[in-house]
Structure 1
C-alpha cells in the first residue's frame, strides 16, 4: 500500500527531510509515484485525494495472514494491512456490528478521537492488539493518522519527497523511488498525526532521530528511537507516606 500526502496535510518531521540532491523527486507531480506503483504492482488501485495527495494499493501478492484492506466512511479514507487479534472486543467497544473488519475499527477509533474526546490517542492505539500498519486520511478536517504495531510486524516505511510531501508505504523501494535518501522504516510502536507529529504510544519518553549510515558511510535517512534520557511532561506525584526514596524520582 502507498499514501502520498501533501505537506499541508502531513508535515513530516524535520529530521526526516533531506535535500533534493539526495535523490528525492516530486511524488505528486504528473502522477509520478502513482504511475510507478501501478506499473510495478498488478491489480492496483489509485484513489485520488485531489490536492491532498493519493492512496494506492494492490490486491495481488498478499500475505494471507496480513491482508490489505481499504475503506471510505464519511470522507475518512483508510488503508490497513495486517490482523487485529482483539477484534471482537473492539467491535463491542466502538459499537460496531458483527460484519465490521479491521479497517472499520480503525476508522471508528479515529472518529472517537476526533468527535467524542477527550481520549488520549496513545490509549486508543495501544488498545489495538495484533500485527498491523495503517494510514488514515480525513478529508473533512484535512488531517492524517498513521500507526504501526509495537513489533513492526508489517514492513512499513516513510520519507519526504523533494517538495516536502510525506510518502508512506509497505514497499521500501517505492519510498526510495520518491524520497531518495530521505526515507527510513516507520518506527514501530509509534503513531503520527497532523496535529501532534510522531509519538510513541508505548513509552512516555520523547523520540530522537538517529542517522542511518549506508555501506559507503553516507547518511541515508533517519530512524526514530525512544530517548531513554527524557520523559514527556512531569513525573507522577509519589504517594504520601511512601517509604521509598523519592529524591531519585525527580
Structure 2
C-alpha cells in the first residue's frame, strides 16, 4: 500500500528530513504512484486531487497480514494486517457482520470526528492485533495513520524534497520517493494532520526524535522514542456531539 499526501494536508515531522537526501519528489505528476504500479502488479490508484494519492495491490501479500481497501462517505482507508477483537468492535460501533477491518477503522474514525466520546489514543489502543492503516477524510482534509504496538506489519514513512508525506509497506518505494529521509513508522503510535505524532501506549508523554543511522553510516530519517521525563502540557479534549474532533485535536 502507498499514500502520498500534500504537505498542507499532512505536515511531516521535520526530524524525518535527512541532510544527505537527494532532490527527489514523490508528489509531482503522480511519479511515485506510477512507480508503485510498475513494481506491484494489479495495483489500483486512487487520485485524491490536490491532497494526494493512494494506491494498493494484492501482489505478494502475506496471507496472514492481508491488505484491504474501503471507502465510506468519502473517507478512504488502506489497511494491512488482522484485528483479533473484530466481533467486539463491530458490536461497539454498530456494524453488521460483513464489516471488515478497514470498515471498522473508518467507523471508529468517524465516531471520533463526529462525537468524540473517547480520546483518540484509547480508540487505537482498542484495536488488538497486528495492523497498520492509512486513512484520509476528503471532507475534513484529515489524515489518520497508525501501526500496532509491536510493529508486526512492515510500515514506513518519509518526507520528499518538497515536504510531502509518503507512507508505504514497501521500504523500496519509500526510498524511491524520499531518498534517505525515511524511517520505519514508530511502533505503538498514531499520526493525525492537526495533532502530529503521538504514542497511544503512552499518550501523556512527548515523543523524542533520535537520528537513525544505517549500516553504511548514513543518517536516514529518525526514530521516535517515548520521553519518560517529558509530559505533554495538554491532552486531547473530549468534545460534544456537535463538535468536530478533527478540528479540536
Q: Provide the TM-score with structure 1 as the length reference.
A: 0.90
Residue in 2 aligned with 1:8? 8
What root-mean-square deviation, in Å, do the aligned CA atoms of Structure 1 and Structure 2 show? 1.2
Q: Secondary structure at the match of 1:145?
A: strand
Q: Residue 219 of structure 1: CA displacement?
A: 1.4
Residue in 2 aligned with 1:158? 157
Stretches of 4+ aligned residues off by more than 6 angstroms: none
Residue in 2 aligned with 1:103? 102
2: CA distance, partners of 1:64 / 1:207? 33
Indicate whether 1:220 and 2:220 are aligned. Answer: yes
Q: Residue 118 of structure 1: CA displacement?
A: 4.2
Preserved CA contact (<8 Å) 1:82 1:132:
yes
Residue in 2 aligned with 1:174? 173
Preserved CA contact (<8 Å) 2:157 2:185:
yes
Report the number of matched residues.
Answer: 233
2: CA distance, partners of 1:198 / 1:38? 29
1: CA distance, partners of 2:129 / 2:23? 33
Residue in 1 aligned with 2:240? none
1: CA distance, partners of 2:85 / 2:214? 39
Q: Radius of gyration: which is bigger?
A: 1
Residue in 1 aligned with 2:57? 58
Which consecutive residues of structure 1, in runs of 5 or more, have no partner in the other structure?
Answer: 235-250
Q: Secondary structure at the match of 1:43?
A: coil
Q: Residue 24 of structure 1: CA displacement?
A: 4.5
Q: Secondary structure at the match of 2:231?
A: coil
2: CA distance, partners of 1:194 / 1:132? 20
Q: Provide the TM-score with structure 2 as the length reference.
A: 0.91
1: CA distance, partners of 2:23 / 2:199? 27
